[in-house]
A = this chain, B = another copy of it.
C-alpha cells in the first residue's frame, strides 16, 4: 500500500500558491518547473484538486490555477481525499459470510464485522490526524526553518 505520488505534488503546489499569496492565476508550467515535475501529468493531478473545490482554474491565455479557499480552511485530509478518493483504505469484502464458516454462523450479520470495525478505528485515527493539520500550519512549519520562502518562491517563479 503506497500513497500516490500525486499527493506530494499537490501539497507542494498548494504550498507554493499560498506562498505567492497572489490573486493571479499561476500556469501549471510554472508550478511544474518549480520542482522539476512533468507538466502534463501535474496538470492532470491538479484537475482533481479543482474538482474537489480546493483550486480554481482559469482557462485561456494568462490563465492558470489559484487557491479556491483560504489556506486555513484546507486540511491535509481535503488534499488526500481529493487525490486518492474518500473510499476506505480497508475494503471489507464480508468474507465472514462466505464459505463453510459463514454458512454455519447462523446468518445474523446485522452487527458489523469485528475486523472491519478494528480497521475502521485505525482509519479514523489516520483521517483525524490529517484533518487536524491545515495547509497554513504546514506552511508555517516550513517557514520556521526557512523564513524567506515567500520571497524565494516569488523569485523562483519570476514574479519579482
Contacts and interface: CB of A to CB of B under 8 A. Distances in A.
Interface in A70-120: 76, 84, 87, 89-93, 95-96, 98-106, 108, 111, 114-115, 117-119
Q: For chain A, which range describes its interface: under 10, 10 to 19, 20 to 34, or 35 or more residues?
A: 35 or more
B101 A146 contact: no
Given A11-B115, A101-B16, A138-B114, A1 B152 contact: no
A31 B1 CA distance: 25
Query: In the complex this chain forms, how many copies of it are found?
Result: 2
Given A1-B89, A35-B101, A122-B133, 18 more contacts: A2-B89, A2-B91, A5-B91, A5-B93, A8-B92, A32-B99, A34-B100, A35-B96, A36-B95, A36-B98, A103-B156, A104-B155, A108-B145, A114-B139, A122-B130, A125-B128, A126-B126, A126-B129
